[in-house]
């Protein structure tokens, strides 16, 4: 909670300085990555070639990263690294 309050205070300070500035640069970069996988006859307990009852699993691994940057002047720049999804699994058998 203390970290959240200190981040909010820092953002408020930068926003307060930014309102008095006549020029401000705002840029955003980032990354969105999706990896797909499919495992046939994957029972998770080892390899059993004679076992046809082992289930199949498929899913997607998502990573979403944003890097906003606000440059108020030559001395004041605010950068952030926001991760919305970090190796998050979606699909059948995801997380099991």
**E strands present in 1-96:** 25-39, 57-71, 77-79, 82-90
The Cα 40–Cα 50 span in angstroms is 13
Residue 96, domain member (yes or no)? no
Domain that holds residue 43: 2-90
pLDDT at residue number 29: 93
Residue 62, domain member (yes or no)? yes
User: What number is the average pLDDT over the span 51-80?
Assistant: 82
Residue 56, domain member (yes or no)? yes
Residue 14, domain member (yes or no)? yes
Q: Report CA 83 to chain centroid distance, whole Å.
A: 3
pLDDT at residue number 21: 52
Residue 95, domain member (yes or no)? no
pLDDT at residue number 69: 92
Does the global pTM surpass 0.85?
Answer: no
Count of the separate structural domains present in the chain = 1
Residue 71, domain member (yes or no)? yes
Residue 81, domain member (yes or no)? yes
Summarize pLDDT for 42-56 with one digit per residue, the tens.
655 555 555 556 566
Higher pLDDT, 91 or 35: 35
């Amino acid at each position: 909670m203390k970290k959240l309050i200190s981040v909010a205070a820092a953002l408020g300070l930068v926003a307060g300085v930014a309102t008095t500035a006549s020029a401000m640069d705002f840029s955003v970069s980032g990354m969105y990555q999706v990896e797909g996988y499919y495992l046939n006859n994957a029972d998770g307990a080892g390899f059993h070639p004679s076992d046809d009852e082992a289930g199949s699993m498929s899913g997607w691994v998502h990573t979403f990263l944003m890097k906003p940057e606000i440059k108020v002047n030559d001395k004041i720049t605010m950068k952030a690294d926001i991760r919305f999804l970090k190796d998050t699994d979606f699909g059948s058998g995801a997380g099991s």
